[in-house]
Amino acid sequence: MVQQVRPAQLAQWLESVRPFGEPVVLDVREPRELQLASVKADGFALQTIPMGILPLRLSELAPNQPVACLCHHGGRSMQVAHFLKSHGFEHVANIAGGINAWSAELDPSIARY
């Protein structure tokens, strides 16, 4: 099961998984989307790998590393979270609502598109 975490709950989730390794927020949006809006790493590592090429770059992530997946609204990131779980990743969450919710709940300076 993939845990759903709202952006406002992310800091708490990050602290809960920190004993398992340095957490990463994995942004799976396309490069053109990243140009429109991006989050800033604060208390986590930020990695960007578009969903379509993640299988080719999976080795860039460690299965024991906690990963919170992020996309525009939460649909693609949920698919990626399930993919990671099926490949042995233990501590995986989906950031529910995606960067759109991140802007609404945490940082209104992030553009909504």
List pLDDT tens digits, range 28-78: 999 999 999 999 998 899 999 999 999 999 999 999 999 999 999 999 999
pLDDT score for 72:
98
CA 109 to chain centre: 19
At 85, the pLDDT band (50, 70, 90 cuts) reads very high
Q: Which residues are catalytic?
A: 71
Name the strands in the sheet holding 92-95, side by side, starting at the edge strand that comes first in the sequence: 3-5, 92-95, 67-70, 24-27, 45-48
pLDDT score for 14:
96
CATH superfamily membership of 3-105: Rhodanese-like domain (3.40.250.10)
pLDDT score for 103:
97
- Do residues 72 and 100 lie in contact, with contact meaning Cβ atoms separated by under 8 Å? yes
% of the chain exceeding 90 in pLDDT: 97
DSSP state of 66: -
